[in-house]
Amino acid sequence: MIGSSPTFQPISTLPEIRDLLDDAPGILRADISRVKKLLASSAVPPMPSDVELTIQKARDALKVLHAHGRQLAHWLKDPISDAERSEIIRLQAIIPEIRPLIQRLISLATELHRRAIGRAPSRKSWRHL
């Protein structure tokens, strides 16, 4: 809800958030590569509903990333161990790398969606040489 105070997790959830943030760049790069191949292909585009799902998942990932960023900042205000503090700082440094990857995926998937519903030409000179 807008205006409601966020619910913060206990520090025991740090390993789960760490795994998600550490894995995210590789997963996103693979998804971006997959969408780029679909955009470059002359094959029939995927179903619009499949592309919409990809876009929605990416938008949800931005929200989750924001929530994780707030969670990490919250933990830094708590009394935690030096090891936990170091890990939180390391994870906070990863977030600026993840956000543009999600945004790039949304952009490419949106272009793919336009093609899937017939609003764009079959090839666009979006690729950088």
Rounded to whole angstroms, the Cα distance separating 14 from 71 reads: 9
- Tell me the torsion sign for CA atoms 87, 88, 91, 93: negative
pLDDT at 125 over 60: no
pTM for this predicted structure: 0.81
Q: Which pair of tokens denotes residue 99? A: 């956000």
pLDDT at 129 over 70: no
pLDDT at 122 over 90: no
Give me the percent of the chain exceeding a pLDDT of 70: 86
The contacts of residue 126 (CB under 8 Å, 6+ apart) are: 39, 111
Per-residue pLDDT tens for 4-18? 456 899 999 999 999
Rounded to whole angstroms, the Cα distance separating 22 from 16 reads: 10
Rounded to whole angstroms, the Cα distance separating 29 from 105 reads: 8
